[in-house]
Amino acid sequence: GDSVTQMEGPVTLSEEAFLTINCTYTATGYPSLFWYVQYPGEGLQLLLKATKADDKGSNKGFEATYRKETTSFHLEKGSVQVSDSAVYFCALEGYSGTYKYIFGTGTRLKVLA
Amino acid sequence: DTGVSQDPRHKITKRGQNVTFRCDPISEHNRLYWYRQTLGQGPEFLTYFQNEAQLEKSRLLSDRFSAERPKGSFSTLEIQRTEQGDSAMYLCASSPDRGRVEKLFFGSGTQLSVL
């Protein structure tokens, strides 16, 4: 079945460092790919998305490119801030008779001032 | 847009008891999902509805779990004969989309503790 694999955390970075959180997926067909973020004490919210190969999703300085050849959707940010400290979830929506929206295990990011 | 509402926020129960959670999606959202999240893990898919029809149900959802969305608006998730392993955050999400989902809107969840 469809699945999402994320790099394990926690990831600890200094402010202004470069961030990469790896995400790979397994799916039949052409899934849509997403990154969600969960800030401390808050619910999950959509950060960015890409619906087809080579699309780049971007929001709040974060970017991710849908790479079908490597089945990846890595999250990047050029310069992280303390306020980016949160848990990041990679997700996909695939179709195999019905739509199914599944999440990875999450990667906790801690940014130090 | 009042957001997705879940009730209760917290539930403590004894092993063997039945519990029921309620989710009110954003008005006119067709799609409604239930997920379970344990500490340090991502949301695990349980089931989803398109209007009142339950279209998909995870193998994780044993026969002790049942979900309904009788009029295509609010939904309930019932767990019968709770076990300690049922302790988790139960999340509800909704979407206005009929086909591919562009975005899920999540509620704050119901934290279940089974003693």
β-pairing, A45-50 with B105-106? Answer: unpaired
SS3 B85: helix
* A8-19 pLDDT tens trace: 889 999 999 999
| Cα angle for residues A41, A46, A47 (degrees, 5° grid) | 100
**The pair of three-digit structure tokens given for residue A4, joined into one six-digit string:** 């999402």
A75 bridge partner residues = A21, A64
Higher pLDDT: A40 or A86? It is A86
| Cis before A40? omega within 30 | no
Best probe of the A interface among B101, B110, B111, by most A CBs < 10 A, is: B101
Across chain B, mean pLDDT equals: 92
Q: Which of B72, B97, B85, B42 is nearest to A9 (CA)?
A: B42
What is the rounded radius of gyration, in angstroms, for the C-alpha atoms of chain A? 14
Taking any CB pair shorter than 8 Å as contact, residues of chain B touching chain A are 33, 35, 40-45, 48, 55-56, 91, 93, 99-104, 106-109
Strands (E), B1-115: 5-7, 10-13, 19-24, 31-37, 44-50, 53-57, 65-68, 75-79, 88-95, 105-106, 110-114
Cα separation, A102 vs A77, in Å, equals 23
Higher pLDDT: B102 or B12? It is B12
Check A99 against B33: CB less than 8 A apart: no
pLDDT above 70 covers what percent of chain A?
100
Can you give the pLDDT at residue B1? 54
The partner residue sitting opposite B100, judged by closest CB among A6, A99, A104, is: A99
Any idea how long chain B is? 115
pLDDT surpasses 90 at A60: yes
What is the rounded radius of gyration, in angstroms, for the C-alpha atoms of chain B? 13
Q: Report A:66-105 residues touching B (Cβ under 8 A).
A: 89, 93, 95, 98-105
The partner residue sitting opposite A98, judged by closest CB among B56, B91, B108, is: B56
Cα–Cα distance list, A24 to A6, A109, B65 (Å): 7, 18, 31
Cα separation, A63 vs A59, in Å, equals 7
Best probe of the B interface among A2, A7, A44, by most B CBs < 10 A, is: A44
Best probe of the A interface among B44, B51, B102, by most A CBs < 10 A, is: B102
* B60-88 pLDDT tens trace: 788 899 999 998 899 999 999 999 999 99
Cα separation, A13 vs B104, in Å, equals 29
pLDDT tier at B2, thresholds 50, 70, 90? confident
pLDDT above 90 covers what percent of chain B?
77
- Contact status, residue A75 vs residue A24, Cβ threshold 8 Å: no
